[in-house]
Amino acid sequence: MPAVQLAVNLNSPGNYVHWGIFQVSISNLVLVAVMVVIFGAALLLPFPSSHSARHAPGAAGEGDPGATTSDASAQDTAHAQSDGDSTMWTARLRRLGLRLLPPGKLLPDSQPAYVSSWVYVFGVATLAALAIAIVSGFALALGGPDWWHYVAIGHFFNSLHLWSVEMFMAFMVIHLWGKFWMAAWRGRRALTWVTGVVAFMASVVECFTGYLSQQNFDSQWISTNGKDAINATGLGSIFDLMNFGQMLMWHIVLLPIVLVALVGAHVLLVRVRGVSHPLPVRAARGRAARRALAIADGAEWKGPKRRYDILKEATIAGLVVVVLVVLLAAVLSSPDEPPVTVQSWARVAPADFVATAASELAGTSKTAQYGPPYNHSSQSVQRLGVSWQLLAGVRQPINAARVFVLSPLGKLAATDPAIARALARYDAAPAATQKRWAEAYLGVVTKVRFRSGVPSVPKAADGPVPIMVSGELTLARSGALDADLLAQQPFYGTNYTKPLLFLEDGNYFSSLATAQHLTGSQWGVMNETGSYPGQPWLWLYTLWYQVPGWRSSPNVDLIAVYMTGVATLLLLAVPFVPGLRDVPRLVPVHRLVWRSWNRRTPDGPGHGATRAPTSPRPSPRPSSSAGPDADAPSRAGEQSPVESS
């Protein structure tokens, strides 16, 4: 019984009408008619309103052009409150915004006096680097996803993008270090910490998809290695690292929206809650003292402040980062090791190629024995209690022999009678015979010789396999096999899953990675080709592959995913876990951050706004509220500890 058609099929030939010199489809006419109806309805239908506008006599508005804007605003607010309009959603949201984030907090002109360390600068520097990464990404998008490979100016923009991203991640990590040792989650700032950590994790995924979108050798190697971990979680068919088109869309559309939203929320929370107060030099003793300190941490800072021009700081930070990024891009450029193709593989290492093609026919290649999401085998299935890979099932079915060898040869058979006869003989044989032929060829292929480019092996009971493999080599050398493996998908052809799996089944691909020090012994995906820094921000994930015992486990990818997940949850939970959240108090790195402030409060209360030292500094002369120097401490950004309490 045919499946029920749930949608109207508009793929059939359309209907058209002719009007003078114009030809218009019926579907377009219907669309325009609907638009006209909607517009007419908007013009004619009454607009629902539960409250009519009322103005008190003399109220500022169109009838009182002499009234000032501030007067009108104040009177409108009064009318809204008197008329009950204060319950409107818009009014409520406006009041909430003004209460949580008044202009003085959103664009402050002063900061607490203890904000006097370079550690505080890295938050602004992170934002500046992110802005440059976004702008350089826009420039790359103007030319398309691959123009930077063959246009000099495009390569320069790619270099700008690379180094702005490296600086963005470096500054963000330094910012995270600083906030940890400052215990910046104190004083009801836990959500600020959580949004910062989530933004960091989103940045890691964003940068990772950026590396995958490069379409060079490094991105090929990272994708083929990283796919095992994603497949082990059962998400391989949803998040396919070898589908460069999918990774590009994640990189330029989905993840940037999430990342910018997270960064924006984090910055707003910093403005709402303010920067965390200094930790006391001497640890508070007793429950009452700790409770008083916690209350003080969450209270508004009442101590001395200093002038702070947030726009000037952001501008200077942005200019410094721009100069650094341009210099790095101009001097060091960016890596672009050409990608490996099936054609280059067949030309440079033909012996490895023919052996791999035979292994696909025999069903002994890595892809043929991989398991979900490609087939029902089990060689690469990972399990820790439960196998998410098996639960997800086969979502990208790949018959290795058919996809990599038989299907391409079928197209060649139309013009090559020898290939046509060999394929006909192979297809007519039982599966057991086909496998026996391929295994016999594999037994002698190690002694292959090439005469005028044609592979020759010792005689064996290998049936038509030698002719088929020779035809496959011819296809590969011409570049037709690359095109065929991509032509099996429609339109864009950006899913490189099939050619990359075929490349991975051979030894040539991994030998190039070994020569570039990209293999697991060097922390794998952390490395970049040449002497470029690569991705040190992935250390938390790649760390687990180096642990003795785990690195040789068949479930190592799943172990790495689980351990990274646990470490991430611990990082998120730092403000809430006793002992973990106390590490900054026990290891007093914070004293270096606030050393200037601590020198100003020699008795070390750490909170000039909450407690006074036992022996305040004497004033040189009695102060008078009417005297000319009465506000001198305020003007200098200084207050005595007594005044700050």
> pLDDT at position 536, please?
80
* pLDDT higher than 60, residue 72: no
Residue with the bigger pLDDT between 524 and 517: it is: 517
Do 251 and 298 lie in one domain? The reply is yes
pLDDT tens figures, 297-326: 888 888 899 888 888 888 999 999 999 999
Among residues 512, 544, 568, which one ends one of the domains?
512
Q: Is the pLDDT of residue 127 over 80?
A: yes
Same domain, 414 and 547: no
* 63: pLDDT strictly greater than 90: no
CA–CA dist 605, 613 (Å, integer): 7
Three-state SS sequence of 592-609: HHCHHHHHHCCCCCCCCC
Spatial CB neighbours of 269, under 8 Å, sequence gap ≥ 6? 189, 191, 192, 195
Q: Are residues 281 and 220 in the same domain?
A: yes
**d(C-alpha 624, C-alpha 640), whole Å:** 15
E strand intervals along 46-95: none
What is the pTM (predicted TM-score) of this model?
0.82
Residue 3: pLDDT band (50, 70, 90) is: very low
pLDDT class of 80 with cuts at 50, 70, 90: very low
Q: Which residues contact 396 (CB under 8 A, 6 or more apart)?
A: 236, 237, 240, 373, 374, 497
Mean pLDDT of the chain: 84
Has residue 126 got a pLDDT over 60? yes
Take residue 69 and report the two structure tokens written for it. Answer: 């804007």
Q: Are residues 472 and 542 in the same domain?
A: no
The reply to whether 638 falls in a domain is no
Q: Could you tell me if 276 and 85 are in contact, meaning their C-beta atoms sit under 8 angstroms apart?
A: no
**Domain finish residue from 447, 482, 512:** 512
What is the 3-state secondary structure of 486-552?
HHCCCCCCCECHHHHHHHHHCCHHHHHHHHCCCCHHHCHHHCCCCCCCCCHHHHHHHHHHHCCCCCC
Q: Helices 217-232 and 508-515 sit at what angle, rounded to 10 degrees? A: 110
Question: Do residue 154 and residue 300 come from a single domain?
Answer: yes
pLDDT at residue 604, as a whole number? 46
Same domain for 432 and 449: yes
- Does 642 fall in a domain? no
Residues 419 and 563 both lie in one domain? no
HSE, CB side, 13 Å, CA atoms: give it for residue 297: 20
Domains in the chain, number: 2
Are residues 328 and 273 located together in one domain of the fold? yes
97 found inside a domain: no
Owning domain of residue 478 = 342-512
**Inside any domain, residue 353:** yes
d(Cα 341, Cα 319) in Å, to the nearest integer?
41
Q: Compute the distance between CA of residue 147 and CA of residue 44 in angstroms, rounded to an integer.
A: 52
Task: Tell me, yes or no, whether 22 lies in a domain.
Answer: no
- Band (pLDDT 50/70/90 cuts) for residue 427 is very high
Continuous segment of H or E residues that includes residue 317: helix 310-332
- Cβ atoms of 448 and 470 closer than 8 Å: no
What are the counts of helices (DSSP H) followed by strands (DSSP E) for the chain?
Answer: 30, 6
User: 283 and 351: one domain?
Assistant: no
Confirm whether 32 is domain-assigned: no
Q: Are residues 248 and 396 in the same domain?
A: no
Task: Kindly calculate the radius of gyration of the chain based on its CA atoms and give it in whole angstroms.
Answer: 34
- Evaluate whether 499 touches 485 at the Cβ level (below 8 Å): yes
pLDDT band of residue 257 (cuts 50, 70, 90) is: very high
Which CATH number do you get for residue 135? 1.20.810.10
Note whether 345 and 506 are within 8 A (CB): yes
CA 493 to CA 486: how far, in whole Å?
Answer: 6
**Residue 321 domain-assigned?**
yes
On whether both 355 and 264 belong to a single domain, the answer is no
Handedness of CA 194, 197, 200, 204 (dihedral sign): negative
Is residue 177 domain-resident? yes
Residues 503 and 462 in one domain: yes
Alpha carbons 437 and 366: distance in angstroms, whole number: 19
